[in-house]
Amino acid sequence: MKNIKRYYILNAEPKDIFNALTNKKMLEIWTDETAKMEPVSGSEFSLWGGSITGVNLEIEENKKIVQQWFFGEDDEESVVTIKIHPHKKGTSVELIHTNIPDEAFENISEGWDDDYFGALNELFL
């Protein structure tokens, strides 16, 4: 199991980043895939047409999202924490993703940079 810790600067206000990460319609706009999302602790979610599924463990509006991601029945708990902070250029996002299965690490790592925060950054250009 591996971990990721990264920082991203996005050209939008924290409330807009939070909305893009937690609003079903916004998620479907920038991912161009179906999504299931409610910004409520304990709610299940699905992103990229079901490629990513899990549970929202903690939601702090405009500040923090903590999710458990499911990789399979036997995997340890994989937790994603996204912290959102105001920044002079818009928003600073701190990403921590723990307990990523070794065989999924490269794909997940590239996915965060390209498909997730790369695509989100494109939305706000």
pLDDT tens-digit map of 64-110? 999 999 976 655 689 999 999 999 999 999 999 999 989 989 999 99
Architecture of domain 2-123 in CATH? 2-Layer Sandwich (3.30)
Which DSSP category does 20 fall into?
A: H
The pLDDT value given to residue 71: 76
Overall average pLDDT of the 48-55 stretch: 92
Q: Which residues contact 115 (CB under 8 A, 6 or more apart)?
A: 31, 48
Alpha helices in 1-125 (DSSP H): 14-22, 24-31, 105-111, 117-123
- Which tens digit of pLDDT belongs to each residue from 2-37? 999 999 999 999 999 999 999 999 999 999 999 999
Structural domain spans, the chain: 2-123
Ramachandran category for residue 118: left, alpha or beta (phi over 0 → left; psi -120 to 50 → alpha): alpha
Phi, psi of 93 (to 5 degrees): -115, 125
Q: Would you state the pLDDT for residue 117?
A: 95
Mean predicted lDDT score pLDDT of the chain: 94
- Place 43 in a pLDDT band, splitting at 50, 70 and 90: very high
Q: Which two tokens stand for residue 22?
A: 């937690």
pLDDT of 125 higher than 90? no
Q: What gap in Å lies between CA 30 and CA 54, rounded to an integer? A: 19
